[in-house]
Amino acid sequence: MPVPLAPYPNSSVPFTPPNGGQNQLVCSGCRNLLLYPLGATSICCAICNAVTAAPPPGTEMARLVCGGCHTLLMYIRGATSVQCSCCHTINLALEANQVAHVNCGNCQMLLMYQYGAGSVKCAVCNFVTSVGASPSTEHKPNN
């Protein structure tokens, strides 16, 4: 079953493991989530041996799922777009207060869209759902 496009869940409080001495990032080689000690400048992945540079201390990071290949991406909070290193898709990096959700009018998949959009197209069934309008304004694609 396809995965809906949505940002990776972020809490308003940064992730702090119980021991308080680790942080996390995505491996630049195999894309696995890595835990590393605070203060480290680079991390060597135990799975693929790729070396990934750690962000400077105090850098606030955010996560999202790539709309092209569904890879977990990490980026510096505040960025407006993020290019996936796997499939090169450029993803919009929207903050939680810039997006809204609606169920697809055809398959009921939960869809996410940017505030101000008039409609949203489902990536699963290609149905176009009008946002905030009556069901009579929704239509199926012509393909």
10, pLDDT greater than 80 = no
79-112, pLDDT tens digit by residue?
888 898 889 999 888 765 567 788 999 999 888 8
Instruction: Say if residues 75 and 85 touch (Cβ distance below 8 Å).
Output: no
In this prediction, residue 96 carries a pLDDT of: 59
58-85, pLDDT tens digit by residue?
788 888 888 888 888 888 888 888 898 8
CA atoms within 13 A on the CB side of 100: 13
In this prediction, residue 45 carries a pLDDT of: 93
In this prediction, residue 80 carries a pLDDT of: 85
16-56, pLDDT tens digit by residue?
445 557 888 888 888 888 998 888 899 999 999 999 998 88
Mean per-residue pLDDT over the chain, rounded: 77
Does the model's pTM come out above 0.75?
A: no
In this prediction, residue 105 carries a pLDDT of: 92
